[in-house]
């Protein structure tokens, strides 16, 4: 799976939207368009429910997600006291799915946030300074693009070893190049606008121009693109855990649960598919919400 970056035309549209409509009225129109998008609202509500349930897991009165019972292995869905049954070690599936959401969401959001800070800084620097600085930064990023994202994540995790920290580091390194590329693209476009030349002619310093005139116009497209990467991060993190290169047992994490339940597919296939369903719902909600946000910010749509 390769990470796709938005086209230059789309990036230009988003930059133009945020540049020409930087007033309060523009953001009101964005909010109004989002409120009229039922798909985005449903996805946002679903994500809020998943996040709220995961964060409030200790106070929901759930069973211990680590407690095993060999006499209650692979109970079917709807069993007494076990709404979603039990896994291969007799642990409550509902509790493990909800607690697993904490780690799965953390593994999806944290690498993207870290890559956004690092890749965004590098991309904005390359786009605004240009010249040899741009050449150096972007050629280094191109080295990472020589590898598919999945292969790069597996290679890095395999070299560093399994574990939550190493998985977070490997995923961060995977997402820095695409964020850096889109940041450099939109910053290069903004740098050529008249208001930047006017600010430079008026005597404004480089840091002032970047802080006041550039950041406000490039953060929108960058954040929209970063939102779409969260779903990719969740899937990659789950894939690494499934391969034994991510989270270690007995931690509840959706990808790891898929791995441990793979033998149960012959006994209780619906039970074995539950972690995959959670991965699918969460990732598709992030994707659709990102699409809705992009459409709402594009005044030409």
- Interatomic CA distance for residues 217 and 190, integer angstroms: 7
Residue partners of 82: CB distance under 8 A and separation at least 6: 63, 72, 75, 92, 93, 94
Query: Residue 211's pLDDT is what?
Result: 78
- Interatomic CA distance for residues 73 and 82, integer angstroms: 11
Query: Residue 55's pLDDT is what?
Result: 93
Query: Residue 299's pLDDT is what?
Result: 59
What percentage of the chain has pLDDT greater than the value 90?
Answer: 49
User: Any idea where the domains of the chain sit in the sequence?
Assistant: 8-60+101-297
How many C-beta atoms lie closer than 10 Å to residue 48's C-beta? 11
pLDDT tens digit string along 103-155? 999 999 999 999 999 999 999 999 988 889 999 999 999 888 888 888 889 98
Contacts of the segment 46-52: beta carbons below 8 A, 24+ positions apart: 46/281, 46/285, 47/282, 47/285, 47/286, 47/289, 50/101, 50/105, 50/278, 50/281, 50/282, 50/285, 51/101, 51/105
Smallest Cα–Cα separation from 240: which of 261, 264, 256?
256
Query: Residue 26's pLDDT is what?
Result: 67
Q: What CATH code would you report for 8-60+101-297? A: 1.10.3720.10
Helix axes 38-55, 269-297, angle to 10 degrees: 130
Query: Residue 6's pLDDT is what?
Result: 56
Q: Which residue ranges in the chain fall short of pLDDT 70?
A: 1-26, 299-301
Return the residue matching tokens 């209780």.
268
Query: Residue 138's pLDDT is what?
Result: 92
Burial of 163 (0-12, 13-18, 19+ CB in 10 A): middle
pLDDT tens digit string along 69-104? 889 998 999 999 899 999 999 999 999 999 999 999
pTM of the predicted model as reported, rounded to 2 decimal places: 0.87
């Amino acid at each position: 799976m390769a990470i796709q970056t938005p086209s230059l035309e789309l990036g230009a549209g988003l930059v133009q939207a945020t540049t020409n409509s930087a007033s309060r009225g523009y953001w009101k129109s964005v909010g109004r368009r989002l409120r009229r998008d039922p798909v985005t609202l449903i996805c946002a509500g679903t994500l809020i429910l998943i996040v709220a349930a995961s964060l409030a897991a200790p106070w929901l009165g759930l069973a211990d997600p680590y407690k095993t019972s060999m006499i209650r292995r692979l109970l079917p869905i709807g069993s007494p006291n076990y709404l979603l049954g039990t896994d291969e070690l007799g642990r409550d599936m509902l509790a493990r799915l909800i607690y697993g959401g904490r780690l799965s969401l953390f593994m999806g959001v944290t690498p993207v946030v870290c890559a956004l800070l690092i890749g965004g800084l590098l991309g904005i620097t390359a786009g605004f300074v240009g010249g040899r600085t741009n050449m150096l930064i972007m050629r280094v990023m191109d080295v990472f693009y020589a590898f598919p994202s999945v292969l790069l994540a597996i290679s890095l995790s395999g070299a560093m070893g399994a574990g939550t920290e190493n998985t977070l580091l490997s995923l961060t390194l995977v997402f820095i190049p695409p964020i850096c590329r889109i940041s450099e693209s939109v910053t290069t476009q903004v740098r050529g606008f008249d208001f930047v030349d006017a600010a430079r002619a008026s005597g404004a310093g480089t840091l002032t121009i970047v802080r006041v005139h550039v950041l406000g116009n490039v953060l929108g497209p960058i954040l929209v693109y970063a939102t779409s990467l969260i779903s990719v991060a969740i899937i990659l993190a789950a894939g690494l855990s499934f391969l034994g290169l991510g989270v270690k047992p007995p931690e509840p994490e959706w990808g790891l649960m898929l791995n441990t339940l793979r033998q149960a597919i012959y006994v209780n296939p619906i039970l074995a598919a539950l972690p995959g369903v959670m991965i699918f719902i969460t990732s598709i909600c992030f994707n659709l919400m990102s699409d809705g946000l992009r459409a709402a910010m594009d005044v030409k749509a």
